[in-house]
């Protein structure tokens, strides 16, 4: 089984620029003017052009009543990007256009930085310390 990550953007070139510079990815394939595959991470990321104001659909293919927007938005799904040096990763992402939403937090298991890309999608940088999540696992 493989996972593919799909992210809606309203500007393909801006999306490519951000993800290439923030995460060190590279363009694998292009799909006309409406999509691009970014490779170099553990799973390919597909940037899909969807206009702001266009309807968002449910998995059944019916309009959800929500329109796409690219301001900061909340969703129950986000990417966690595991890094060796969280401070450097945060600086690189900010230079590429990300927003750091809170200061880096350190816990026994590691460090966490809450971020947002230029399209309103949240993501986190994670730097594991000690035994990582095993520091807090109960089973």
pLDDT in tens, the chain (139 residues): 999 999 999 999 999 999 999 999 999 999 999 999 999 999 999 999 999 998 887 666 666 778 888 999 888 888 999 999 999 999 999 999 999 999 999 999 999 999 999 999 999 999 999 999 999 999 8
* Paired sense of beta strands 122-128 and 79-82, if any: parallel
Which DSSP letter does residue 54 get?
Answer: P
The encoded tokens of residue 6 equal 């799909």
The encoded tokens of residue 7 equal 């992210």
Which domains does the chain show, CATH number per domain? 1-70 (3.10.180.10), 71-139 (3.10.180.10)
């Amino acid at each position: 089984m493989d996972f593919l990550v799909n992210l809606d953007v309203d500007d393909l070139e801006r999306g490519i620029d951000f993800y290439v510079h923030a995460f060190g990815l590279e363009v694998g394939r292009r799909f006309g003017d409406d999509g691009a595959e970014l490779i170099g991470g553990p799973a390919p990321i597909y940037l899909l052009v969807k206009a702001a104001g266009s309807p968002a659909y449910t998995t059944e293919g019916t309009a959800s009543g929500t329109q796409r927007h690219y301001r900061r938005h909340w969703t129950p799904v986000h990417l966690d990007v595991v890094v060796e040096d969280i401070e450097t990763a945060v600086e690189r992402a900010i230079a590429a256009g990300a927003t750091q939403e809170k200061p880096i937090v350190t816990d026994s298991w590691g460090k966490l930085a809450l971020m947002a890309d230029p399209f309103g999608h949240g993501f986190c940088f994670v730097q594991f310390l000690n035994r990582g999540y095993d520091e807090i696992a109960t089973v």
